[in-house]
Amino acid sequence: MIDLAKLTASINDNESIRLLPYTDTTGHITIGWGTNLNAGITQAEADYLRDNRISSAVETAKAQPWWPMVQDCDPRARAFIEILFNMGLAKFNEFTKAIAAALQSDWQTCSAELLESLWAQQVGERAERLVAMVATGEDPGSA
């Protein structure tokens, strides 16, 4: 039987944690506890990272002044959270007119402001789908 607590403690003692990518002594791009990014990551690791970022985006959304306006409408809430996931809070907060419209439950203006952004140009169909969810409060294709 492997004592995982002792193994983890030893790795923690012998590896340094780095939260930003760096080049290790062998020339590999590395992050975390010695994870060689040049070798890629597993599907499980990618899913774990995605799920952590989703949880973080949900918690961030719940702390925003516009959250009460979207929390009871699943498609709108998911659209706002997905935009947060995609661009982060600092960039999301640059949508000042869209946020002001959301605070007034003016979904048409909010949607128009989101659609007229550089973000919408960059993500294309994704923006169209998310903006439609904000505008209608429905999933695309549902009636």
pLDDT in tens, 68-84: 999 999 999 999 999 99
Domain identity same for 54 and 110: yes
pLDDT for the residue numbered 15? 86
Domain identity same for 51 and 111: yes
Domain identity same for 53 and 79: yes
Domain identity same for 28 and 86: no
If we measure between CA atoms, which residue out of 54, 107, 50, 51 comes closest to residue 76? 107
The answer to whether residue 66 scores a pLDDT higher than 80 is yes
- What does the mean pLDDT of the chain come to? 95
